[in-house]
Amino acid sequence: MVDCNRVAVLSLLAAQYGAKRVYLFGSFARGDMTDSSDIDLRIDKGSIKGFQLAGLLLDLEDSLGRPVDLVPTTSLDQRFLDSIHDDEVLLYEAS
């Protein structure tokens, strides 16, 4: 997924919604995605509250043309974070 157009779209939406950071992980980060792969994103929510996260998810899916699994960092345990650490790619960081 790390193509410039998709990163630009993701960055614009993340900034509009107030995300702090967005990371790519999973098959797109490893480069072994298939036509049916979803896009796995870990998000440090920043100022995003409640239903805004659902809005960001829907906007990402519409803009990227694929299902997106948008997972807040706060919902993940340390073991899972450790397991994805080596594959993660930072796509967006608020300035």
**Residue at token pair 């450790």:** 82
The reported pLDDT for the residue numbered 50 is: 87
pTM over 0.85? The answer is: yes
Where residue 22 sits, what CATH number does that domain have?
3.30.460.10
Our count of domains for the chain comes to: 1
Cα separation, 58 vs 53, whole angstroms? 9
Query: Mind listing the pLDDT tens digit for each residue in 45-71?
Result: 999 998 999 999 999 999 999 999 999
Using left for φ > 0, alpha for ψ between -120 and 50, and beta otherwise, residue 92 falls in beta
Query: Mind listing the pLDDT tens digit for each residue in 6-42?
Result: 899 999 999 999 999 999 999 999 999 999 999 999 9
Smallest Cα–Cα separation from 92: which of 4, 17, 7, 29? 7
Residue 15 domain boundaries: 4-93
